[in-house]
Structure 1
Amino acid sequence: LLLAVPMARTRRQDPLELCEFGSSDVELTMCEWKNRNGTALRWELGAGTLSNWLGGPIKDAGQAEDQASGGYAFFETSLLAAPVLRVDDITIREGQNAYLESQMLGSTGAGGKCIGFSFAIDGLSASGLRVVLQPVSKDGAPESFFRVLWGSKDPTNKMWMNAEVLYTYNKNHQIVFEGVAKDLPDPYRKYRGYVAIDNVVLKPGSECKGHCTFEGGFCGWNNEENDDFEWSLGRGSRNPSTGPATDRSSFIYGGLEGGYAYIDSSYPRRPGDIAKLSSSEFPATIPDIPQCLRFWTHMFGNGVGSLSVLISDQSEQQEREVWALSGEAGNAWYQAEVSVSSPNNYKIVIMGKVGKNNLGDIAIDDISLTPGACPTAPQIAAPGSGDCTFEVDECGWSNVVSRERLDDIDWERTSGQSVRTTARDHTLGTEKGYLMTLARSTVQRPGNRAWFTSRDLKQASGPRCLSFWFIMNEPFIDNAGPSLGALTIYSKSSTDNDLPLKPVWRLYNHQGPEWQYAQAPVTEPTDLILIEGIWGSSRSNGFIAFDDITFFGGTCSTLPSGATVRAAECRFERDMCGWINNTDKNSASWRLATSTRRPANLADKTFGAPDGYIYYDLFNQILGSNMVKLVSPVIPAGEERTLCLSFWYAPFGAGDSALMQIIRSDNSTDPEKIWTLEVKNMDTTRPMWLPAQVTVDASTSFNIILEGQATNGGFAVDDISFTPGQCPTRPEKAEQKSQEINNS
C-alpha cells in the first residue's frame, strides 16, 4: 500500500506557473493538480529519498545538485484497484489507470497553449503515459468525449525525458495526465513499475518551438524568398475536387474550429512551381537523440504534385531531402513522420510543388517535434532509406535466397496474434500489428541461423545510426542455463564483396520480456545491413523479434551498452573473427571445430551446437614445432585503461600434459605472459567447458596471442569477450605473479 505524503496548503497558482512538486526537505505539493474524483488508483507525491519506500524514480527531473530530494508526481502501476466502486448507489466499474487533472481552463485562443513537462516510465507493470484534453461542461462536469494530445508507451530506461505539446481549444476544458498500467490479466501487472511526471508548465503556444496548428498563423514558420510562391492559411477548400474540407482536428474529432497551411495550385500557378515553408533555426541535435518530426498531410486532386521535407544545414548552406511524397493520396488527412538529425544548426523546410493541373492543392497541419528516432511514415515517403515498421511489408529487406545456403531458416513477418508467445508489435502496441520474428524449423538444431538483409540503401553523406526495437525472451530457463540464442547486426560493403562482414551490435540469450530500444553505429555511408538471428539449444522455447527500424545521420552510442562489439571478441560461429594462425605451415594450428572434425565430440559452449569454437590438437608432432599460436586483431586503446578478457576453455587428450598461455603484445614493450595453465596426466574422454578470465592492460593498442603446446591433446576455446575494468584471474592457478597493471 502506498502512503500519501502529507501536502501543505498552497496558494492558488496561476495555470502558467511551473509545478516542480516541491521537495522532501521542505514539503511536497501537487500545486493545483489533483486526482480525479471517484477513482481508486491515484497519483502520489514522491522524491528520490523516498523512492525505495514509496516507489518512483531515484531522483527528480530538476537540475539542482541534490536531485534526490526534489519532488515529482508518480503512479505506482503495480497497484490494483477494487473491481467495482459504488458512487451515489450507482455501480461503476473501476478503470485500471490513474488520472491527474488540472484546474478548469478556458479558451486557449488562436495561438494555443504549450504544455511542457518531464516524464519517466519504468517497470514491467508500466504501460505508458498519455496527455488528454478533457472538455468540461458549464457546470464543471467532464464531458463524455476526450482528445489524446500526446502519448508514449516506451520505457525511459531510468531517465527523465522532456516533452512539449501544443494544442488549441475554444471551450472550457482540463488537461489530464493519464498513467497507463498493464491490463489486469497481464502476468506482469503484479511487478513494480511507475509512471512519473515533473516540471509541468502551461505556457503560451509560441514557446513550443517548431510546433504549429496553424490556427493563429504560421507559429514562427516562414515563407522563403527563393521560391515561386507562398504557402497560405486556410480553413476549408472552395473546390470539392481538391484540398481538405476541414483541418485535421475537425476531420478527426468534428467541430468548427481549426485551420491549416496549404499551397494553392490554381491560376497563376504553373506545373513545377515550388513553395517553401521554413522553421526557425534549431541547434545541432544530440548524437544519441534525433528529433522525430510529425505532421499531417492532405494530398487530394488528380493534379497533385509533390511534398517534401528538407534539412537545411546552416553552416554548410546545403539542403538534403529526408522525406518526399508525390501524387494523390485520397480525400483524407494522413500522419507523416521522419527522424531529423544534424551535426550543425539547422532549419526544417517543407516544400510543396505544383503538379500537372490546378486540381493539386496540398495541405499540412499539426506539426510537432519529439525527442527520439521514428521510422519514416508512410514508408513510401523514403524509398531506399531502410526505415521500416513492417505494417505493410518488409520495405525491401529480404531473407537470403535458400539456394545460396548461407543460412538455415528465415525471419518471418507476422502479427502478434500468430506468434507462439504473447506479444504485441512495437509500432501499434497491439496484437494486430506486425513484427519480424525468428522462425523455427521442423527439426530444430542448435546454431540454426537466419539472415535478413537490406537492399541498397540511399547513400548518406557520412556515418549513420541504425536504431530498432527488439525482444529476446526466454521465459523458462533450465538448470543448464540460458540458451535462447543470439541477435547480431552486421555491416557489409556494397562495393567490395570480398570484405568480411563487420559485426556492429550483438546480444546473447535472455534480455527480458519487453520491447527494448537499440542503436548500432554504421560508420561507412554505403554499407548494407545484415540482421542475423541464431537459435540456441533446441530445448529453448523462447522468442526473438525486432521491429521499427530507423536510420538517422551522425554518430551514436551502442545501446544497450552490453551489445557493444569490441575488436577480437568472438564466439567462432561463422569464422575466426580476424584471429590469425602464426605457426609454420608444416605445423599444426588452431582450427574451427566442425560437426565431423572436433575433439571428443565436444559441443559448442555458446549454443550447444556441434561446431562453433576453436581448438588445437597435437599428437606425436614430428614435423615442425609442437607449439601453436593464434594472434588476435589489433585491439585499439580506448577510454578504459584496463579490460577484463574472459573466455571458456576445455582441455582434452590422453597425453602427459597440455599447456595454454595468453600473451599480451604491443609495439612498445616485450610480449608479456598474463595467463598460463598446464593440465597434466590427462584422460579427458568427456571434456568440459570451464570459465576463465584475466585483466589486460588496455592503455595502449595491443594484440592477444593464444599459445598452446601438448604431447597428445590440446585445448578448445570459445566465447572470447572483453569488458571494462579489472577482474581476478581465473582459475587462480593460471595467475602470473609477476603481472602488474598500473591503473592510475
Structure 2
Amino acid sequence: MAFSSIVFEGIIGSSFESDIAIDDIKYYNGICPPSRTCDFEASDCSWKQEAVLDDFDWVRGKASEVPSGSLYNDHTTGTPAGNVLFANTTSERAPGDQALIYSPSYDATEEGDCMTFWYHIHNDPNEGYLAVWESINGALYGPYWTSTVGVTSNDWQFASVTLKSNATFQVVLQAVVGVTTAADMLVDDITFEYGACAPPGFCDFESDYCYWTNTRTGDNFDWTLSSGATPSVTTGPSKDHTLSSSSGHYVFIETSTLVAGDKAWLISEFSPPSDGCFTFWYHMYGAGVGELNVYLIDGVNGNMALEWSESGNHGDRWVKGQVSTSNLNPYQIAIEATYGANYTGDIAIDDTFITVDGLCNESGEWDCDFEDDWCGYTQAQDDTFDWTRLTGATSSLDTGPSIDHTTGTATGYYVFIETSSPRVPGDEARFMSTLIPTTYRQCFTFYYHMFGPTVETLNVLTRRNDSAPGDIGNVVWSSQGEKGDVWYPGSVVIAEQVAFQVVFQAYVGASFTGDIAIDDIRIYPGDCPATPTCDFENSLLCGYRQDTTDNFDWTYGSGDTPTSLTGPSVDVTYGTAYGHYMYIEASQPSSPGAKARLIGPHISTDTTLTVCWSLYFHMYGQDVGTLNILTQNADATSTIVTSLAGDQGNQWYSTAFEITSNGYEIVFEGVVGSGEEGDIAIDNVRMIEGSCGGLCLHRKVKQLMKNERRQFSKHVVDSKTYVRKVQMYFQYV
C-alpha cells in the first residue's frame, strides 16, 4: 500500500476578515467509525429503516414538509428549511402501528454511553409516543426511554438516556401511533457522549443548558450561559458555584438593556407525575435586583403555579434554593427572573437537580446531626470495638471535643471513638450508612474532630453492594494525626455505578489521648463546592486555582522535589512520600523574582466575621525567596497579610493569622529567590471561624509532636518517652 499525506490548505480571502480554523483531528486505521452526532441537515447519518417488523417508515425532510405542520421549525437551525427525522403518520395509520429506525452499530459500553436528542409530539393527549430501544444481535431490548403520554407542548423537548451493552449494539427509535392517527412525531440533534448520562434533572451548565431551554414565547429575553464576571460592575457573580472558578459556567440574566416588566423564563424537560424536589443555587447581587420565581407548569392543562420566590439583594454569594414539587400530571419547572430597578440587577442560577422520589426534606435520608439518634447508621460487626454517641467532653483529658458541632454546646450530640483502656494501638472501629442508590455524582460532607497527641487515622470508605464478603470498601478520604481542638469540615465527591454504603473507619493510636469524633453528615447531589480548608490530597485542589496573570504555576507534588538540597521529601498530612502538597519549582525556566500565585475559593458570608487561617510551609534551600500570603478583593486589588522569606531549614513549620473581612480570596504567592535551591511548599491549609487562640502553638514544638507521633503510628513505644521529649523541647524554646 502506498503511503500518502493529508494536507490541509487554507487560502486567504479578499480581506483580513477571512480567518479559518481547524481542531480535533483524528485518524483511524480502517473505515471511519459511525458518527456520534446527527442533525439530519446533510444526510440521515446511516440510520436505516426496519424492513419487516414495523408498519410504516420514518422520513428525513424539512420541517416545513411535516404533513400536519404543528411545528414549523427544526431544532438545529430554528427555521422551516432545517431538516428533521419524523414518523410519517397519516390518516391511513391505525392505533398501535409502529415505525422503527436503526442507528449505525456502536461498540460495547459496559459503563454506558449517554444518548441525548430533541423531540416533538403534537399537543394532542390522544397522540402516540416515542421510545428508545437497543438491538443486539437482531433482538430488541428495552425500552430504556419512553415519552410521556398526554403532555401538551408546542415546542421541542429534550431527552437523555444511558445505554449499556456488553456487545456491539444499535439504537432503535420507535414511534407508536395513538388514537389520533394523523399526528406529528419528530426527532432532531441526536448525540452520543461517552459515559453515563447525568441523572435526569441535573445540570451544572459547564458545557450547555442540559435539559433547560429558553422559552420562545411568553417572556421578553433569554437566560445567557456565561463564565467569569458579568459585564456590569457591582452585580452578578464573578465565579460559578460548581467549580468556584472564573472558568466555571452558570446561566444569568443581563439587566443592562432591560426595562420595567421584562422577564426571562428557563423551562425544564418534563418530569412524570410525582412528588419531587427541585434544588438549585442562585446568586442575587446588586442594588437593582428584581425577583427570582419558580413555577410548576402542568403538562396537561398548562396551568402555571408559583412555588417559590425571592427578591432583592442577597449579597455577592451563592445561596441554595429548594422547592418541593407535587403534581398528578406530567409537569415542567419554569425559572423566572424579572428586571428590578436598574442595571445592577443580574441574577444567576447554577447546579440544578430535580428528583422525583419524594418531597424535599430539610434533612435527607443520609443526613445526620446525631441529636436524636444514629439516623439509621449502624456499627460494623467485624471490627474491634464500637463508636459511641455522646454529649459534652469525652472521659479523657487533652483529647476529644468538649462541644458538638451542630449546636456548639456541651448538650449537643456527636459520635466518637474512646481510645482509653481497654483499647490498644491499632484497634479499629467502623460505622456505616444504609444502602445508597446508584448515583451520578454526590457530595458527601461531614465535620471531624481529631484532638490529642496520639490521634491516629480517620478514613471514609465506600463499600459497593457487589463487594465480596469481607471487603470493607475503598478509601475515598483520609486524615491522620492531631489537628487541634477544632471541628473541621470534610468533603468528598462520590460517584458509584452500583448501590453503596458510606463507611467511617477510625484507628486507635499509641495511648488514650487519641479520641476522634464525627458530626453533621450530609449528602447532596452534584460536586462539592470549593472549600478553603484543603490538604491537597486530591488533584482538584479543593477548588484552589492557578492565577493566569502571574509568571508560572504552583506544582502538585509528592515525595522529593526535582532539585537537590531544597524542597520537602514528605507531606504534612501523612508524613510520607506518598502524601501531596503544593510547591513552586525554583529551577529553570523560572528566574529570580518570578511569581506564582495560588488563589483560594471566594469567602463570602452574611456578616463580616473574624476567621483564623492556618497552614504549614516548607522553605528549605540556600536560594529560597519569599512566601507572601495576601487577600484579593473582587476588584482584583490585593493586600499582604503576612510574608515569610529565606531558608527556614529542612522541615515543615506551621503559622496562623486572623482576617476580619468579607468578599475576598486568599492568595499564596511564591517568589523565586536567587537560584535553583529555592523551592517553597505549602500544605494543610485551614480556615475556621473565630480567633486563632490555641492554634498558634509554637510551630517547632508542634512539628516535634507530629514527628514523634508518626513514629508512634509506625512502632509502639513508651508514651513517657514522648511526653519527656516534648517537655524538654518546651524548656529549650
Task: Indicate the TM-score class for this superposition, using the shorter chain for normalisation.
Answer: 0.3 to 0.5
